Amino acid sequence: MSKRVLAVLLVVAVLCFGGVVSQSEAAFPEQPITIICPFAAGGGTDAVARIIATLMQNDLGKPVNVVNRTGGGGVTGHQAILQAKPDGYTIGLGTAELAMFHWVGLSDIKASDFEPIGGVNLDSAAITVKAGTWKDYASLLADVKANKGKYTASGTVIRGIWHLAMAAWLVGAGLEPDQVRWIPLEGAAPAQQELLAGGIDMVTCSLPEVSALVNEGKLTMLAYMNDSRSPRFPDVPTLKELGVPVSIGTWRGICGPRGIPADVLSVLEASVKKAVDSDEFKQFMDGRGLGVRYLSAKDWGAFMVEADNQFGDVIKAAGLSQ
Amino acid sequence: MLTFENISRALPLLLDPYVLLVVALSSVYGLFVGAMPGLTASMATALLVPVTFFMPPVPALAAMVSMEAMAIFAGDIPATLIHIPGTPSSAAYIEDSYALTRQGKASYVLGVQLMVSVLGGFIGTVILVLLAPALAEVALRFSTYEYFWLACFGLSCSVMVSSGSTSKALLSLLIGLMLNCVGLDVAMGYPRFTFGSSQLFDGFSFIPVMIGMFGAAEIFRNVLLKETNVAPFTVQTDNVFKGVSAPLKKNWRTLLRSGVIGTGVGVLPGAGADIAAWVTYGLAKRFSKNPEKFGKGEVEGLVAASSANNAALAGAWVPALVFGIPGDSITAIIIGVLYMKNLQPGPSIFERSPEIILAVYGTFILANLLLIPFGWTAIKLASKVLRVPRNLLYPVILMFCVVGAFAINNSLFDVGVMLVFGVVAYVMESNGIPVAPAILGLVLGNLLEKSFMTSMMKSQWDITAFFDRPISVALGAIVVLTWMSPLFVSLIRRRKKAGIDNA
Amino acid sequence: MRFNDAVIGAAVVVFGLAVIFHVRTYPDMGGRMMGPALFPTVLALLMIVAGLVQIRAGIKSKEPPVRRLPEFTLSGAVKFLLAAGCVVFYIYASDYLGFLITSFAVMFVLMLALRARPLLAVLVAAGATVCVYLVFNKMLLVPLPIGLFSF
């Protein structure tokens, strides 16, 4: 029996030792920071989170760890960011999905719930077809107009960002949002596979995602859904030039729960800015085919709310809400 | 591509001491991660990305190649020793390897798995080196119609992978397929069976379910015994490689077939090492002379599946290199690294940077060679686990199940999932319902429903679309024949029997 | 616990019917084509067929509805419940107590229940806890709950 008592004492001793370590006032950060990534390890969002974490760690001198909280198509992770203690030690990488959940009825989360810290990335959609099918946007539009429901498009799951991009394009061009049928696939890679295999007619995922096969001449990019042309493909016209004022894409940025102290926020904002401005970040993002776009906390907060409204308009117009 | 000049430029890149050091370190890391339940090879690769960022292209890619080769083999170690698959690819043949462990043949069976993993890896590498561009062209002809037939074919293995009552195996398969329906549906994004919980939008995570059904259930089974046997398992103390060559010689046809098919499955985007293992295991049972022994410690199935999952790794590089389309979740990350190192994937990559691609091929061979000594050491160290008295071992394994289930999504919800499925699997098994078909249903159910629903959406519910395309027709015919063949076989047997009776 | 196949079959049939009842409310895809409900419905129908097959086999076998497995004992059942209870305890307590304390407690209690010598159990449970913590938390960066105490 005495051995069991010994065991209990051991536990108690350990507990006391843990309690003694007190928190003293010092400059932020004095312990490791966690960045919550709402998508699985290995994806694009995860890659961005990890490179930002590495660069912030170099800057702040404390470990910055990435924690993947996956599930619920991103709902779980974004929820975890909102539910974190607002002390600045747990922040997250928010993605465009956070401005969609509440419109499609998956969650109550909306853009204005988050404390913006800094926008880091923006990638606009592009309309891409298999080489040898349509040679320009005008001929595609004419065929789409004349044959309602004949053509199919993909790029992500149902009501995902690229589905919204297609709907926004069609509505902007004065057509019905289901003029082209959306085929749900799990991302840009399977969508391009289907496109090449002849299973679908076009993809509307982001420009960098299709750039490899466009460069190889297997796919043709017809239009870019941004206000200005991409330096990567200067010959591809924007939808705006083609008479459809639609600019839509996916974006990512660092955010946290509301209520983080102002001095902590300013340290984090400066560190994110420094990371995004660094050559390493630009090189990394360029390599992964992702667009760098820094926005200050204030600008990013406004941008998120604006995007939230845009998604809401598209989702309502396309009848995609539940 | 395979010219003397290119090879002579690739060799120094590969044999650079820095590269060799990176290969050795990432091999140890891969063995470690693969052997830990709940930590997958793709997770480990993702953790490597920030590290490889600061490396030149060859060591960066070499790190990933050697890590994945080691991790997939290492998944066999906990599967064999403690009945928990280290990676999902080891689930197909876990019943056989664990049965052999209980017969005291742990290090023999691990030795066999090690050697066939190495050989499977070689087969995959050879095919990758010789046929990459041609295979990639074929893979890109696969649309959802072809994937649907592939999933059907995989499912037809379910009855083959289980031992015992066929009707109960089918029931188990249906349970697995039904579990897959939980979460947002593919066609409309409608939340099914989630009962208001956003945790379930993506359905049950596969890894916690698998750890529960194999690992936790095994612990429950054992603690329920009258007096938990405190004596350790008997472990044979022979050399790991003793007696390994006999099953290799005997099953070389199975090995070769599984290596080739495993590579083929790996080439297809959306089907990776885990599906390769199930399919080849099922085929081995179909072609085997003693299928009734499968699931009870038959080496042949183990040879087939354990070589196929390593072969699939190299296969997955084919579409990744040639078209930038990932063959599995690991190559999805590797494509990112290729871009980062200014090596745009595409058919022209072989002309643009032949020496780097050849050096990467070289690391495949190097990693598989290194697998022999490294794997041997790992087996030696890990087998000591079995010397621990079981009343100390089981609580520790239970904690591994808990942490492994937690690690995949960092969520305590998944620990609960693990527990529930541990109990479910215990109840199923004690009532003669095998667990393996349910796991197969979970692996393939998503592919099956996704490919069916998207095909129907594309063709606007015209079923004939499944027979419109040449590859699709061929695959469909194979599936239908596989399903019909037991009928023919039993007919022929009946005829023969009738003939004998008459005589 | 081993149930007669008929009992299992009946449970499966009831489950299949419940699924069909539940998915009736799912939206269709327009044009009267079934959407999200299609696969669950087909699977449920197949399950009902499989259940009926089990019921037939069970009635034929003439076994009692529930049989105690030969190896089943009361103390075994207690240990089973304890193991399951330990996992439940971990789920609810680890966020507050932290991984180190919860994991140690779970392993220690289970080892005692399996009749390990107490001192040995303390040592192994503590050692295993620290090892798991170092490997998963420190090396592989899995954020195990910190709770009251960690290092």
- Give per-residue pLDDT as tens, B346-373: 777 888 888 999 999 999 999 999 999 9
- Taking the CA atoms of B327, B331, B333 and B338 in sequence, report the sign of the dihedral they define: negative
Please provide the DSSP assignment of B396-415 as one string.
HHHHHHHHHHHHHHT-HHHH
Q: How far is CA A154 from CA A206, B53, B331, B352, in A?
A: 12, 32, 22, 31
- With a CB cutoff of 8 Å and minimum separation 6, the contacts of B21 are none
Per the prediction, chain C carries an average pLDDT of 89
Cβ–Cβ contact B352 with A under 8 A: no
Quickly tell me which residue has 């996704």 as its tokens: B450
φ/ψ of B253, rounded to 5, equals -65, -45
Cβ–Cβ < 8 Å for B69, B29: no
Size of the A and C interface in Cβ pairs below 8 Å:
32
Task: Take residue B342 and report the two structure tokens written for it.
Answer: 């200014």
Q: Closest Cα of chain B to C69: distance in Å?
A: 8
Residue A39 to residues B158, B193, B205, B445, B479, Cα–Cα distance (Å): 32, 22, 13, 22, 36
Q: Test B395 with C114 for CB contact under 8 angstroms.
A: yes
- State the smallest CA–CA distance between residue C143 and chain A in angstroms: 7
3-class secondary structure for C58-126?
A: HHHHCCCCEECCCCCCHHHHHHHHHHHHHHHHHHHHHHHHCHHHHHHHHHHHHHHHCCCCHHHHHHHHH
Neighbours of C77 (CB within 10 A): 13
Q: Do C43 and B392 count as a contact with CB atoms less than 8 A apart?
A: no
**How do residues A143-178 score in pLDDT, each as one tens digit?**
999 999 999 999 988 888 999 999 999 999 999 988
- Provide the mean pLDDT of chain A: 87
Interface test with C, best of B171, B195, B207, B381 (most C CBs within 10 A): B171
A69:B409 CB<8 A: yes
CA dihedral of residues B458, B464, B469, B470 (deg, nearest 10): 160
| Tokens standing for residue B58 | 């060859």
Taking CA atoms, what residue in C is nearest to A63?
C141
Complex prediction ipTM: 0.94
CA dihedral A177, A178, A180, A186 (to 10 degrees): 90
Between A183 and B269, where is the model more confident?
A183
Is the Cβ–Cβ distance between B274 and B309 less than 8 Å?
yes
Whole-number Å distance between alpha carbons of A146 and A153: 16
Per the document, the length of chain C is: 151
In B, residues 57-116, which contact A (CB 8 Å cutoff)? none
Is C115 within 8 Å of B230 when comparing Cβ atoms? yes
- Main-chain phi, psi angles of C122, to 5 degrees: -60, -50
Range(s) of chain A covered by CATH 3.40.190.10? 124-224
pLDDT at C141 over 90: no
**pLDDT for residue A12:** 45
Rounded to a whole number of angstroms, the CA Rg of chain C reads 24
Whether A17 has a pLDDT exceeding 50, the answer reads: no
Question: Tell me: the pLDDT tens digits for B471-500?
Answer: 899 989 988 887 777 777 667 777 766 655
Residue range(s) occupied by CATH 3.40.190.150 in chain A: 33-122+250-317
Asked whether A206 and A179 are in contact (CB, 8 A), the reply is no
pLDDT tens per residue across all 503 residues of chain B: 678 888 888 889 999 999 999 999 999 999 988 888 877 787 778 778 777 777 889 999 999 999 999 999 999 999 999 899 988 889 889 999 999 988 888 888 999 999 999 999 999 999 999 998 888 888 888 889 999 998 888 887 766 666 667 888 899 999 999 999 999 888 888 889 988 888 888 888 888 999 999 999 988 988 887 555 555 666 665 677 778 888 888 999 999 999 999 999 999 877 888 889 998 998 888 888 888 888 888 899 999 999 999 999 999 999 888 887 777 778 877 887 887 787 878 777 888 888 999 999 999 999 999 999 999 999 988 888 878 888 888 899 999 999 999 988 888 999 999 999 999 999 998 898 988 889 888 888 888 998 999 999 888 888 898 988 888 999 899 888 877 777 776 677 777 666 555 54
DSSP string, B8-36: HHHHHHHH-HHHHHHHHHHHHHHHHHHHS
Residue B375 Cα distances to B92, B113, B371, C96, angstroms: 20, 10, 5, 40
Q: Read off the amino acid at residue C3.
A: F
A286 exposure class (CB count in 10 Å sphere: 0-12, 13-18, 19+): middle
Is residue A91 classed as helix, strand or coil in its secondary structure? strand
Q: Is B342 on the interface with A (CB under 8 A)?
A: yes
Q: Which of C110, C90, C103, C93 is nearest to C137 (CA)?
A: C103
What is the CATH code of the structural domain delimited by A124-224?
3.40.190.10
Q: Does B42 touch chain A (CB under 8 A)?
A: yes
Smallest CA-to-CA distance from B107 within B235, B200, B222, B219 is with B235
Cβ neighbours of C124 in B, within 8 Å: 392, 396
Tokens of residue B419, six digits: 């527990």
From chain C, the residues in CB contact with B462 under 8 A are none
Tokens of B443: 């692996």
Q: CA of C75 to nearest chain B CA: how many angstroms apart?
A: 7
Beta bridge partners of B184: B191
The partner residues of C3 in beta bridges, in order of sequence, read C66
Handedness of CA A207, A212, A214, A219 (dihedral sign): negative
Q: Determine the Cα–Cα distance for residues B145 and B470; give it in Å rounded to an integer.
A: 11
Say if strands A292-295 and A115-124 run parallel, antiparallel, or are unpaired: antiparallel
Q: Answer yes or no: do A18 and C104 touch at CB < 8 A.
A: no
Instruction: Quote the Cα angle for B481-B127-B125, to 5°.
Output: 125
What confidence score (pLDDT) does residue B112 get? 94
Q: For A15, name the nearest residue in chain C, comparing CA atoms only.
A: C149
Cβ B199–A76 below 8 Å, yes or no? yes
Other C-beta atoms closer than 10 Å to the C-beta of B262 total 33
Determine which helix (DSSP H) or strand (DSSP E) holds B248, and give its type and residue range.
helix B245-250
* Residue B7 sits at the chain C interface (C-beta within 8 Å): no
* Residue B418 at interface with chain C, using a CB cutoff of 8 Å: yes
- Grouping H, G, I as helix, E, B as strand and the rest as coil, residue B356 is helix
The C-alpha atoms of residue B199 and residue A73 are separated, in whole angstroms, by: 9
Question: Does C87 contact B398 at a Cβ distance shorter than 8 Å?
Answer: yes
In this complex, do A76 and B326 lie within 8 Å of one another by their Cβ atoms? no
Interface touch C148/A67, C-beta < 8 Å: no
A1 pLDDT higher than 50: no
Q: What is the rounded end-to-end Cα distance, in angstroms, of chain C?
A: 44
CB B180 within 8 A of CB C21: no
pTM assigned to the model = 0.86
Give residue A313's identity as a one-letter amino acid code: D
Q: Does residue A29 have a cis peptide bond before it, meaning omega lies within 30 degrees of 0?
A: yes
How many alpha carbons lie under 13 Å from residue B241 in its C-beta half-sphere? 8
Whether residue A6 has pLDDT greater than 60 = no
pLDDT of residue B484: 78
Q: How far apart are alpha carbons B201 and C27 in whole angstroms?
A: 17
What pLDDT does residue A133 have? 95
Residue A319, amino acid: G
Q: Give tens-digit pLDDT for A66-76.
A: 888 887 778 88
- Identity of residue B257: R
- A54/B454 Cβ within 8 A: no
The per-residue pLDDT for B500 is 54
Q: Scanning every residue of chain A, which has its alpha carbon at the shortest distance from the alpha carbon of C117?
A: A3
Interface touch A3/C143, C-beta < 8 Å: no
If DSSP codes are grouped into helix, strand and coil, which group holds residue A292? Answer: strand
B169 closest CA partner among B181, B182, B179, B155: B155
Give partners of C (≥3 CB pairs < 8 A). A, B
Chain A: residues touching C (Cβ < 8 Å): 3-4, 6-7, 10-11, 14-15, 17-19, 34, 65-67
Q: With cut-offs at 50, 70 and 90, classify the pLDDT of residue A115.
A: very high
Give pLDDT tens digits for A247-305.
999 999 999 999 999 999 999 999 999 999 999 899 888 877 788 999 999 999 999 99
Q: Which residues of C touch A (CB under 8 A)?
A: 100-101, 104-105, 108, 118-119, 121-122, 126, 141, 143, 148-150
When CB atoms are compared, the residue of A3, A19, A65 closest to C119 is: A3
The answer for residues whose C-beta is within 8 angstroms of residue B136's C-beta and 6 or more apart is B267, B318, B319, B321, B322, B323, B347
The CA-atom distances, in angstroms, between B57 and each of A52, A83, B2, B355, B448 are 21, 40, 20, 11, 37
C-beta of residue A240 within 8 angstroms of C-beta of residue A227: yes
Choose the CATH number for A33-122+250-317 among 3.30.70.260, 3.30.420.40, 3.60.10.10, 3.40.190.150: 3.40.190.150
Nearest to B189 among A41, A69, A158 (CB): A158
Inspect the interface and report whether the beta carbons of B433 and C72 lie closer than 8 Å: no
Q: Which residues contact A9 (CB under 8 A, 6 or more apart)?
A: none
Contact A223, A238 (CB under 8 A): yes
Residues from chain B contacting residue A189 (CB–CB below 8 Å): 269, 325-326, 332
Question: Residue B346 in contact with residue B323, Cβ under 8 Å?
Answer: yes
Q: What is the pLDDT of residue B452?
A: 93
Amino acid at A167: A
